[in-house]
Amino acid sequence: MYAEPDISTIGALIGDPARAAILSALLGGRALPASELAYRAHVTPQTASGHLAKLVDGGLLKVRRSGRHRYYELKNAEVASVLEALARISPPPQPRAKHHSEEHENLCFARTCYDHLAGKVGVALTQRLVGKGLLAANEQAFSLTEAGARWLEYWQLDEGQLRKGRRMFARACLDWSERQDHLAGALGAALTNRLFERGWIARLPGTRAVRLTDIGRAGFQREFGIDVERL
């Protein structure tokens, strides 16, 4: 056993309910202050500070300083991928109040999975990109077709730039709520960022769920033939 990686250490870090809540809050891809993370985890600021220190020391989080403030975020996409995988094998939530049920429904409809779009909308978008012949589905990834390369230019996304670096270009990420793949990797992140820039999607406060704006609903119908009202 001593020759194998010590997964128990990471398991213990993630296994604490408060730390799990902190990590889940950061799956939205944004850096958040300790005060908000304490609120999300339902613990005091002092308790949250101890949990955050352990998560940073354990290599799951990184911290950015802005003046006197500290903002915490997941260390990288690899950590997010592990958390998303755990969500797929975890028991479903048991909403204790109406607003908890509404939040769960919002997450299932559309959310950010670290830095790419997930939920019903993310899966529908991915399926339509494949259906329109812009992406070709492989076992654990997607490949870009010639039509897809032209589409990237139309959307002003630089394929060459996206292929630089160590991150996979177009990864298939199994959605925990839909049990189908959505688009991740550098392409998934760039496309989601473009949707935010165009004002098609907007974040819902206090959660990683996103909503589609009126412009976005019209855009999804026009560009991809997706009627989001029927998802």
pLDDT tens per residue, range 87-124: 888 887 766 655 567 888 999 999 999 999 999 999 99
Structural domain boundaries in the chain: 7-75, 98-230
Q: For domain 7-75, give the fold.
A: Arc Repressor Mutant, subunit A (1.10.10)
What pTM did the predictor assign? 0.84
Three-state SS sequence of the chain: CCCCCCHHHHHHHHHCHHHHHHHHHHHHCCCEEHHHHHHHHCCCHHHHHHHHHHHHHCCCEEEEEECCEEEEEECCHHHHHHHHHHHHCCCCCCCCCHHHHHHHHHHHHCEEECCEEEHHHHHHHHHHHHHCCCEEECCCEEEECHHHHHHHHHCCCCHHHHHCCCCCCCEEEECCCCCCEEEEHHHHHHHHHHHHHCCCEEECCCCCEEEECHHHHHHHHHHHCCCHHHC
pLDDT at 216 over 80: yes
